[in-house]
Every structure is written in C-alpha cells, then in structure tokens.
Amino acid sequence: MRSIARTAVAVLIAAALIAIGLIWDIAWHRSVGRDTFWTPPHMVEYVAAIIVGTSCGWLIIRSTVRGTGLEQEHMVRFWGFRGPLGAWVAVWGSLAMLVSAPFDDWWHNAYGLDVKIVSPPHMLLGAGMTAIIVGAWLMTLAEQNRSAEGSRKFPIVFAVASAILLLMLVTITMEYTALPNLWRGRIFYFVSAAVFPLVLAAAARSGRLRWPATATASIFMLASLVLSWVLQSIPATARLAPINNPVTHLVAAPFPIALIVPAAVFDLLHRAVGPGRDWRLSALLGVGFVVALLAVSWPLSGFLLSPAAQSPVFLAGNWDFSATLGAWRFEYWDTMSGGSRGSVVVAFAKVLLLAALFAAVSSRLGIALGSWMRKVRR
C-alpha cells in the first residue's frame, strides 16, 4: 500500500516537472529561439518521463509478479498486468512521449525545424505530457479517496495535482487567454469558459478539502507566479534572426488569470445547491464563472496595463525577441468595436452569454467527471 502512495508522489513530482519543463521551454522559444534536443527545458521533460517510466513500471511489474493480495486489490487489470489506473495513464503518457521523439525528429528532417508549435508529433507529445499529469491526478485522487475521513494529507496533494492540470491547460491555451490585453475581448471568455470550468467543477465535486476548487486555483496562481518570477530572472540572449526586441532574460509567462475568484464561486455554489441537482448547478456555475471572471479580469487587466504595473513584480515587459515593440503592448485586443456605445455593450453581453453557455456545458462535464472521480479507489 505504501508503495502505491510513494509511486503516486513520484508521478506527481514528474507531473510538476512536465509543467515546469513546458513553461520553461516556451520561455526559451520566446527568448533564445534556438531549439535543440539538449536544451535544459527538454532535459526536464526527459527526466519527468524517466521518473514515470521507472516508478510506475517497477510498481506494475513488482505488483503483478509478487504483489500482495491486498495491493492487487487496489489495482486494475491491463493485458494481464496489475496497476493503479493513474499509473497506467501515466505509463501511457511516457510511452507516447517516447514514440513522439523519433516521429518529431523525422518531421524536422522532412518539413524543417519547428515553424509551427502545433504539429502532429507535438500533439502526440502534448497528449503524452497531459496523460502523465492526468495520471498523477488519478493516483493522488485514489489515495485521497482511500485515506481516512478527515485526513488532510492526500486531499492537499490531490489539490496540488489538480493545480498542475490547471496550469497545463492554461499553458496550452495561453495564446488565447494569457495576456491581460485579451481580458476585455471575446476569445478570452470563450476559451476560458470552455476549458477551465471542467477542472474547477471536477475539483469542487471530488476534492475533500473544505474549499477544493479555491485551493486548486490558489496553488495554480502561486505556482505560476513563482515560476514566472524565477524564469524572468535567468539571463538569456536571442540567437535567431530577426531580433526586433533584444531580450536580456528569459521571457516569462504574464501575470496569471485570477481563477481564484471563479473557483471560490464554484465552491460556494457547489455547497449551496447540494446533491442531486447537477443540471441546475451546472447552469449556475456557468453564469457564476463568467460573472466572476469578468468581475476580476476587467479591473485587473486595467491595472496590469497601467504604468503602475510596469515592473517585474507584475511580470511586465515579457515580450518575444521577434516582437516589434509598440503601443499595442498597452492596448486591449480583440474587443468589440464599431457602432455606438450601446451596441458595443449589447454585443459584448451576447459574447458573455454565449461564454456562460460554454461554461455551463464545461461545468456539467466537470461535475460528471467529478462524480465518477469521487468513487475512484484504484
């Protein structure tokens, strides 16, 4: 039993390394530019995959060959082997990462070094990385669900795993959501509403802490801030032409989305509505998510783009080496424009309404996932 818990912690560490490596790699691409097999962020990813492969592989082989009955009772069967569900997902993830490597190398030889981040071999790699994080999520979840009522250790560990998953999703969708310039526009609300309620609702439903979604979002924001502060303090020089913005340090991710506010609303609504009314709860969560996100992002973006926020503390000035700097840095993008003030307000209200619908669907899926997750014990 202890070996399963130890493996869960190892996979959680690997999941954290996956997220750190990915965020570091993006910073590397935005500041140094040159991408080789041996960059430090890539090393972090390889280490993560190795940790998963060895720890889960060992657990599975050992449990299958000479595991105690008690241990095997906490596992699922897979092609004659036995292992915890999360371990299987994580092993699948590390295998997917492994397979993507020669595929990606061939891709580079055939079509050139990465012009686009989004390519089939990178999707496979991304699926593998996400699977390792989901594996850590499921393993810590099973530990939480098996732990004694009132024990706080694994509920906290599970919140950390949920936060890593949230960090991963925020990173994957960063093009549409990360910059405060986007926080008064359309795409930010659509993408945020479609993606983030899933994790927050699942965490709210399955976490055993008193404020599970809030804890998840808080850990995510803190981790994101610390990571960005550290990264932007590492010196770096651009190595690819054209260099329009001669950077002196790694270009870090901007100030994180204040998901703590919608998360708190999720926890409150979840408690208030109670069991058996999941459809009604989803509708409320959908509206609550968009209202809370709007209420916090609108003023926060105003502050982050103001002169007062132009300091490293608020992660200002993190622009790519290839960017031609201009006034656009302090403007809002993707906003509603044209027509009278009234028509703009109406159009934006329609955007928010549609976003609330997305958030409701995403929440419903999250609740269904969370309901299943509450019961996961293996």
Partner 1 sequence: MTSVTRRRVKIAFGAVASLVVLSAHIGSPDTWFAGTAGPYPVTVLVRAPGVIPGLADVIVRVTGDGVRAVTASPAAYNAGERGVPPADTARTVPGRPGTWTTQLWIMAPGSYSVRVTVDGSLGSGTAIVPVSAVATRVLTMDRRFGWLLAGLGAILLLGAVSIIGAAARESVLSPGEAPDRRMRIRGRVAMVVGMVVLVAALAGGKAWWNAVDRDYRRSLDRRWAAETSVVTAGNGEPRLRFSIADSVWRGRSWRDRAASPLIPDHGKLMHLFLIREADAGVFAHLHPVSIDSATFETPLPALPGGRYRVFADVTHESGYARTLVAEAELPGTGGTVGTDPDDAWFVGEPSAGAAALARGATLVWEHRPAELRAGADAGLEFTVREPDGSIGAVEPYLGMSGHAVIMREDGKVYVHLHPMGTVSQAAQVALRERRPADTARGALGRRLTESGALAAHPGAHQVLEGRAAFPYAFPEPGDYRIWVQVKRASVVETAAFQVRVN
- Rounded Cα–Cα distance for residues 238 and 156 (Å): 40
Neighbours of 348 (CB within 10 A): 17
Question: In terms of Cα–Cα distance, which of 78, 77, 125 is closest to 99?
Answer: 125
Pick from 163, 168, 198, 238 the residue near partner 1 by CB under 8 A: 238
The values of phi and psi at residue 78, to 5°, are: -155, 110
- Judged by beta carbon, residue 18 or residue 142, the one nearer partner 1 is 142
Token reading at 216: 């998840």
What percent of the residues of the chain are helix, what percent strand, and what percent coil, each to the nearest 5?
70, 0, 25
- Judged by beta carbon, residue 124 or residue 268, the one nearer partner 1 is 124
Answer yes or no whether residue 70 interacts with partner 1 by CB under 8 A.
yes
Pick from 14, 26, 89, 260 the residue near partner 1 by CB under 8 A: 89
Answer yes or no whether residue 377 interacts with partner 1 by CB under 8 A.
yes
Cα–Cα separations (whole angstroms), residue 342 to 291, 347, 353, 354: 20, 9, 16, 19
CB of residue 378 to partner 1, shortest distance in Å: 5
Q: Are 107 and 119 in contact (CB under 8 A)?
A: yes
- Rounded Cα–Cα distance for residues 165 and 373 (Å): 15
CB of residue 72 to partner 1, shortest distance in Å: 9
CB of residue 183 to partner 1, shortest distance in Å: 31
Pick from 68, 151, 237, 306 the residue near partner 1 by CB under 8 A: 237
Answer yes or no whether residue 325 interacts with partner 1 by CB under 8 A.
no
Pick from 9, 13, 57, 78 the residue near partner 1 by CB under 8 A: 78
CB of residue 276 to partner 1, shortest distance in Å: 19
Pick from 244, 306, 311, 343 the residue near partner 1 by CB under 8 A: 244
Question: In terms of Cα–Cα distance, which of 170, 222, 237 is closest to 199?
Answer: 170
Answer yes or no whether residue 105 interacts with partner 1 by CB under 8 A.
yes
Instruction: Please report, as residue ranges, which positions from 143 to 182 form the binding site for partner 1 (by CB under 8 A).
Output: 146
Pick from 117, 123, 226, 345 the residue near partner 1 by CB under 8 A: 123
Instruction: Please report, as residue ranges, which positions from 127 to 146 form the binding site for partner 1 (by CB under 8 A).
Output: 146
Answer yes or no whether residue 341 interacts with partner 1 by CB under 8 A.
no
Neighbours of 128 (CB within 10 A): 24
Answer yes or no whether residue 376 interacts with partner 1 by CB under 8 A.
yes
Q: Using CB under 8 A, which of the segments 65-73, 274-282, 331-339, 346-354 binds partner 1?
A: 65-73
- Judged by beta carbon, residue 230 or residue 243, the one nearer partner 1 is 243
Please identify which residue in the block is written with the tokens 């994101």. Answer: 224
Q: Which residues of 195-231 are buried (b: 16+ CB within 10 A; e: fewer)?
A: bbbbbbbbbbbbbbbebbbbbbbbbbbebbbebbeeb
Answer yes or no whether residue 243 interacts with partner 1 by CB under 8 A.
yes
The values of phi and psi at residue 77, to 5°, are: -90, 145
Answer yes or no whether residue 99 interacts with partner 1 by CB under 8 A.
yes
Token reading at 311: 């300091």
Q: Are 49 and 90 in contact (CB under 8 A)?
A: no
- Rounded Cα–Cα distance for residues 184 and 267 (Å): 25
Instruction: Please report, as residue ranges, which positions from 1 to 40 form the binding site for partner 1 (by CB under 8 A).
Output: 34
Token reading at 196: 């983030």
Pick from 65, 115, 308, 327 the residue near partner 1 by CB under 8 A: 115
Answer yes or no whether residue 79 interacts with partner 1 by CB under 8 A.
yes
CB of residue 245 to partner 1, shortest distance in Å: 10
DSSP 335-350: ---SS-HHHHHHHHHH
Compute how many residues bind partner 1; rule: CB under 8 A. Answer: 45
- Judged by beta carbon, residue 88 or residue 255, the one nearer partner 1 is 88
Neighbours of 53 (CB within 10 A): 19
Q: Using CB under 8 A, which of the segments 83-91, 177-185, 193-201, 266-274 binds partner 1?
A: 83-91
Interaction site with partner 1 (CB under 8 A): 34, 69-70, 73-74, 76-79, 85, 88-89, 92, 95-96, 99, 102-103, 105-106, 108-115, 119-120, 123, 146, 237-244, 372, 375-378
